[in-house]
Amino acid sequence: MGSSFGKIFTISTFGESHGAALGVVIDGCLPNIEVDFDLIQRDLQRRKPGQSKLSSPRQEAEDVDILSGVFEGKTLGTPITLLVKNTDVKSADYTPIKDIYRPSHADFTYDAKYGIRDYRGGGRQSARETVARVLAGSFAKMILNKLGIHIQAYVSQIHTIQVSKSYLELDLAQTESNLVRCPDSETAAKMEEAILKAKAEGDSLGGIISCVVKGLPVGLGEPVFDKLHADLGKAMLSINAVKGFDIGSGFESVLRKGSELNDSFTIENHSVRTKTNHSGGVQGGISNGEDIYFRVAFKPVASIKSEQESITKQLDNVKFSIDGRHDSCVVPRAVPIVEAMAALVIVDHYLRNASYKMQAFS
Amino acid sequence: MGSSFGKIFTISTFGESHGAALGVVIDGCLPNIEVDFDLIQRDLQRRKPGQSKLSSPRQEAEDVDILSGVFEGKTLGTPITLLVKNTDVKSADYTPIKDIYRPSHADFTYDAKYGIRDYRGGGRQSARETVARVLAGSFAKMILNKLGIHIQAYVSQIHTIQVSKSYLELDLAQTESNLVRCPDSETAAKMEEAILKAKAEGDSLGGIISCVVKGLPVGLGEPVFDKLHADLGKAMLSINAVKGFDIGSGFESVLRKGSELNDSFTIENHSVRTKTNHSGGVQGGISNGEDIYFRVAFKPVASIKSEQESITKQLDNVKFSIDGRHDSCVVPRAVPIVEAMAALVIVDHYLRNASYKMQAFS
Amino acid sequence: MGSSFGKIFTISTFGESHGAALGVVIDGCLPNIEVDFDLIQRDLQRRKPGQSKLSSPRQEAEDVDILSGVFEGKTLGTPITLLVKNTDVKSADYTPIKDIYRPSHADFTYDAKYGIRDYRGGGRQSARETVARVLAGSFAKMILNKLGIHIQAYVSQIHTIQVSKSYLELDLAQTESNLVRCPDSETAAKMEEAILKAKAEGDSLGGIISCVVKGLPVGLGEPVFDKLHADLGKAMLSINAVKGFDIGSGFESVLRKGSELNDSFTIENHSVRTKTNHSGGVQGGISNGEDIYFRVAFKPVASIKSEQESITKQLDNVKFSIDGRHDSCVVPRAVPIVEAMAALVIVDHYLRNASYKMQAFS
Amino acid sequence: MGSSFGKIFTISTFGESHGAALGVVIDGCLPNIEVDFDLIQRDLQRRKPGQSKLSSPRQEAEDVDILSGVFEGKTLGTPITLLVKNTDVKSADYTPIKDIYRPSHADFTYDAKYGIRDYRGGGRQSARETVARVLAGSFAKMILNKLGIHIQAYVSQIHTIQVSKSYLELDLAQTESNLVRCPDSETAAKMEEAILKAKAEGDSLGGIISCVVKGLPVGLGEPVFDKLHADLGKAMLSINAVKGFDIGSGFESVLRKGSELNDSFTIENHSVRTKTNHSGGVQGGISNGEDIYFRVAFKPVASIKSEQESITKQLDNVKFSIDGRHDSCVVPRAVPIVEAMAALVIVDHYLRNASYKMQAFS
């Protein structure tokens, strides 16, 4: 259970890190969408390990097979199945730690829950699963592109190094201009340095990804439980290593008073706007037409090279170190994952909102 | 759409603030649970407006009608319907602002989405809806109590005033000993002062509620999308005025390195434990048997007495001030709401996990 | 579990036969629909016991309380809660049979499943639950009426007495002109006679309800599992006492060859039509614009006056007879229930189909 | 939408008839189930076209790839993905009819709904999709086998030729002893003859599949909407060419009186049994421990060799005949499909019922 997401635009991901393949079935995608193969490849490349000196050396070819739902370059409205085979798997690397419960990994909890576990490369708990999310997200983006809705995530903090400017002061188009995916080049350089230092030390670093959604129409999000930001929060918290989420002024808003934080309405070009946007584009769980922006906190990844203490499945104490090919900092690679999950939430709410837009009732 | 929550233990809330009644239908509650009427009343009282000088003077009798699902004091396993009638509603108070889009409220987004809105007391967008969550949560707690799972939330920050100690250093049993529901009495006094000051100024304050869950068995939570903390996050973010959520070391974990943050496993009394608990009791989205703790950030409520600028439905500019009976700080009253939502998520995951525990397969 | 139905237009019913009330929460109804109070009352009256000499003498006032989701006579788009209080309950009637497992009732299965049971009037297993379906169905009908979609069910068979004509040869407007709701008055008279005879004998009769849906647009229904007729089938089979369902030529189609049964396409007034309609308006699970027609088989109700043998909860053999106020034949009263369930399925599929109709993509 | 089925044991099927592959993702299968590869192959073989002179000559190798969820021969509790590649596709056969709306096919409704259609081999509307159901069903059967629950379907009628005996008088083990899968060998011979005659005539025949489930525990099925037989009905009606479903005495029960049809309870070997089983093993939607038996009506397949009239997408009249490789009667091949769908419903309800069986509450 738990491998499906979305109500109308529904995805079901599958696959273990060192199994035959990873993939996703998308049910509920609109028909007649031209498949943007470049977009698929671009996002896959951004998520891919081994893309730079900053990331894991695991080489994943990431050739995508489209098994269903696409005909003559267009979506059919039927389930779309996307598959990435697992290659360059070095499962033997994992044999020594097959019985070890690695600290802050899900080895123990999977064993306790299921009584069985594919220990190779972390099995289903591996962040390799997110390749399926990026694939699905690229189809969501194809729809959003047609609607003029654009999502851009970027790294705003690595360890103690943070971008001091708000997203409004940054040129987000610069995000891809450096390896850490931070649009502020000076800060990016410091982040890169920090990551390489941690790598040299056999340690790992976390960070924060900020994400901005522009062009959203008014009215997306359902009241009460399925608030737009509640679904965004769940989507982000479901990504491996994420420990926190906030939207708009978020945790910061605690430090302000109501009189300082309220977003007054005003009229601009005959449409309703707010003078400020502390709300982050969502009021009462429903989009108000302003930019949505939110933050996602990633802890440092648990796989580190330094020696650690833990126990085995047989309840013996052990000392061990992990020799697998791991990132010292996954945050730059998580940028397209955050975008993908945001795209999935938004396209799903866009389609959920369709019923209110039916012509017969307007 | 959007007024239901949960997969097995499912709740559907209904009701507008000044409509006939608010309530909830719980489908999927276990049968044969003795109804703890005191627990229901206690949590209702904790959420109730008008309970102290700190909160809104609206008097809600909060008599609960149980319309179905309970027979001779026990749950039947059929849908349980709980109803609280709306009394002491002063809808006339709202006539002057009926066409005004109050800043940072959902007046505009509801109008844009639905083309119709019950303006009295905020209608469905009102936090009065949370009375239904507290009612449902009390049934979830009845089950959790039998399982030895206990949830305790408390106020850890109001505006700039925060509890400096971790929950482990606090006596959480003291939470109810003061009006702000902060277990640290000295900090509580300062918080109370700050709230009264904001009230006098016609302003409002936000804060942070921390929540601790003890006694959770290992294995709750589903991998990938329905991670335990992802569902907790969604639950919390769906509460009115919440703008952020983090679990375990949360946003703080960004500032640590992997080597500092990893929770090593160890053996204690023949069971698997972790030496530290930066993970917050969840690894890979599944409970590991340690305490779960998380934070929920509430912005200051948008309803303030001071004069504000905004626009009307007819797109005219207006200045106005809100005369309704509002809290200057809802955070103390939100403590039982946070607990209720946590209880709902946990009991639902407990029941989802039941299939893995079937005797025929163990 | 199991008391909810629908994906977008979702209903949750609640209530025990002799509990405080029965009711339903509708989540996902379109906003701005004018509430047709007459329609609600008319359908309630048609389902009501005690409406004629043919039905149970239980008097149910059936005053409906609308607790939420309606404002100034229109739907708000928020959950609509409808309540009917239980009055004229004679629970004492049931005390003698409180421990008896009545043949072909769900006393035993409820006890086995839940370990507890409200024996009064059958509790949750009672067909009184269908009052909630009729209430919800009337809101579905309000939407369908605006769309020009009309549903008409009628009694086509009671015991061995059947209407020999197809629905095309009948004047369905005559359905309400007699007590059995059979549009063929001659057959109706025989059916009435048969029911009164069974009543006199302390026995019960079953029958078949036929249902016709006119005006459905092309394209409703989802391929594979959520085929329109599969969802209709589930809806009908969920009604108390229903044992069979077929659509179009149904079971009869087994006796025909492909060449006899295929519905050839043709053009009529520039639109695609079929020359025959053996398919019953659905092809590949999707509506083709022709009339939908289907049959629902009701077994004779299990509550009969004649003495029967059975066992008690304590596993003793007993002879007993049921003195409650029961119908000898519920089929006439089930006509609005069949219509209500059909309306719920169709409006739900209409809203599910909305996403494909979005202007941005046409 | 609409390609998923089940609440706990959830399947999502995908694939077009002449696309790259067909397959299914199963989410919610219990962990630690030994995979019975023989069972998978056996059911695939039973469904396969070209298995005898009675069926379509299309040769499908039906090699199954297990892409995920199975490790060292056992299920992991994670999503299981099963894939069958499409081989021996002769898509060119379909070019001549690419724009023709074949009578009683879903060509027109798919076009109308989606505005795009994969015409090759029927695309997603093809009954080839059911290979995915059989694959998923075989995993459901693996669980049911461990629980002692056995499902056996058989052909009880082809066109006008029917088995006159009840299932209790037949030796169901003989079902696979002939090509039509009818356990009564004499009737089977006549059915075979009828099918071959229809084949020679370029026509097609329908029939009825009866299905029996033995060994079901008491208590499966949820009251009100998710009654066990309502879910079975939906499952069966979702199979291509199915037009009717009934359970127990079904449509026949209309001809009986309550006094004739009620199933009296009795005690046998200290357990509760019924003397008769007109209910078909389900009372109030919940299994009562008796055999479940139901019937599924298949219309003759719409693809016939004889010349037919219809129209094209361009709204021109055409005469055409179908040259593809089609069965004259699919009913024998549908036996494992009926079993698979029954297995999916039952295992899902078994797991849904797990929460009521939790030790902490018994």
DSSP state string for D268-324:
ETTEEEES--TT-SEETTEE-SSPEEEEEEEPPPS--SS-EEEEETTS-EEEE---S
Provide the pLDDT for residue D362: 55
How far apart, in Å, do the first and last CA atoms of chain D sit? 39
Q: In chain C, what residues touch A354 (CB-CB under 8 Å)?
A: 354-355, 357-358
pLDDT at B240 over 90: yes
Provide the pLDDT for residue A126: 93
> Taking CB atoms and an 8 Å limit, are C204 and D258 in contact across chains?
yes
Q: How far is B28 from chain C (nearest CA, A)?
A: 4
Which chains neighbour D (Cβ–Cβ under 8 Å, 3 or more pairs)? Answer: A, B, C
Residues 6+ apart with CB under 8 A from D307: D319, D320, D321
DSSP state string for A217-280:
PTT-S-STTS-HHHHHHHHHHTSTTEEEEEETTGGGGGGSBHHHH---EEEETTEEEES--TT-
Q: In chain B, what residues touch A338 (CB-CB under 8 Å)?
A: none
Query: What average pLDDT is seen over chain B?
Result: 93
Q: How far is D84 from chain A (nearest CA, A)?
A: 11
Q: What is the spatial distance between Cα C277 and Cα C263, in angstroms, rounded to a whole number?
A: 6
pLDDT in tens, D336-345: 999 999 999 9
pLDDT-above-70 percentage for chain A: 96
pLDDT in tens, B140-185: 999 999 999 999 999 999 999 999 999 999 999 999 999 999 999 9
What Rg, from alpha-carbon coordinates, does chain A have?
21
Q: What is the spatial distance between Cα C228 and Cα C215, in angstroms, rounded to a whole number?
A: 15
Provide the pLDDT for residue A325: 66
Q: How far is D295 from chain C (nearest CA, A)?
A: 9
pLDDT means per 10 residues in chain D (362 residues)? 97 96 97 96 90 69 90 97 87 82 95 94 93 98 97 98 97 96 98 96 96 97 97 98 98 97 94 97 98 98 90 93 80 98 98 81 60
Provide the pLDDT for residue A121: 87
Q: In chain A, what residues touch B251 (CB-CB under 8 Å)?
A: 208, 243-244, 246, 251, 297
pLDDT band at A298 (very low <50, low <70, confident <90, very high): very high
Comparison of pLDDT for C78 and A49, the residue scoring more = C78
Note whether A61 contacts C: Cβ–Cβ < 8 A: no
Lowest mean pLDDT among A314-318, A321-325, C45-49: A321-325
pTM for the full model? 0.97
In which domain, by residue range, is A311 found? 4-360
pLDDT in tens, D282-304: 999 999 999 999 999 999 999 88
Query: Quick check: A165 and A156 in contact, CB under 8 A?
Result: no
pLDDT band at A344 (very low <50, low <70, confident <90, very high): very high
Note whether A288 contacts D: Cβ–Cβ < 8 A: no
Query: Quick check: D124 and C223 in contact, CB under 8 A?
Result: yes
> Taking CB atoms and an 8 Å limit, are A14 and D68 in contact across chains?
yes
> Taking CB atoms and an 8 Å limit, are D223 and B78 in contact across chains?
yes
Report the CATH number at residue C158: 3.60.150.10
Q: What is the spatial distance between Cα A256 and Cα B159, in angstroms, rounded to a whole number?
A: 7
Note whether D249 contacts A: Cβ–Cβ < 8 A: no
Q: How far is A29 from chain D (nearest CA, A)?
A: 8
- Host H or E run for residue C195: helix C185-200
If you count DSSP H runs as helices and E runs as strands, how many of each does chain B have, helices first? 7, 19
Kindly indicate whether the ipTM for this predicted assembly is greater than 0.95, answering yes or no. yes
Residue B291: HSE in the Cβ half-sphere, 13 Å Cα cutoff: 20
Q: How far is D8 from chain A (nearest CA, A)?
A: 7
pLDDT-above-90 percentage for chain B: 85
> Taking CB atoms and an 8 Å limit, are C76 and B14 in contact across chains?
no
Query: What average pLDDT is seen over chain A?
Result: 93
Question: How many residues are there in chain A?
Answer: 362
pLDDT means per 10 residues in chain C (362 residues)? 97 96 97 96 90 69 90 97 87 82 95 94 93 98 97 98 97 96 98 96 96 97 97 98 98 97 94 97 98 98 89 93 80 98 98 81 60
pLDDT band at A193 (very low <50, low <70, confident <90, very high): very high
pLDDT at B360 over 80: no
> Which chain C residue's Cα is nearest to B125?
C78
pLDDT in tens, B284-304: 999 999 999 999 999 999 988
Place of tokens 């001549």: D96
Provide the pLDDT for residue A243: 98
> Taking CB atoms and an 8 Å limit, are D77 and A28 in contact across chains?
no
Which chains neighbour B (Cβ–Cβ under 8 Å, 3 or more pairs)? Answer: A, C, D
- Nearest residue to B3 (alpha-carbon basis) of B125, B105, B94: B125
Note whether B91 contacts C: Cβ–Cβ < 8 A: no
Note whether A23 contacts D: Cβ–Cβ < 8 A: yes
The mean pLDDT value for A29-45 works out to 96
Residue among C226, C272, C352 whose CB faces D108 most closely: C272
Cβ atoms within 10 Å, residue D232: 30
Provide the pLDDT for residue B60: 57
Provide the pLDDT for residue B66: 97
> Taking CB atoms and an 8 Å limit, are B354 and D357 in contact across chains?
yes
Q: What is the spatial distance between Cα D250 and Cα C241, in angstroms, rounded to a whole number?
A: 10
If you count DSSP H runs as helices and E runs as strands, how many of each does chain C have, helices first? 7, 19
Comparison of pLDDT for A247 and A56, the residue scoring more = A247
Q: What's the domain count of chain D?
A: 1
pLDDT in tens, A210-262: 999 999 999 999 999 999 999 999 999 999 999 999 999 999 999 999 999 99
pLDDT band at B59 (very low <50, low <70, confident <90, very high): low
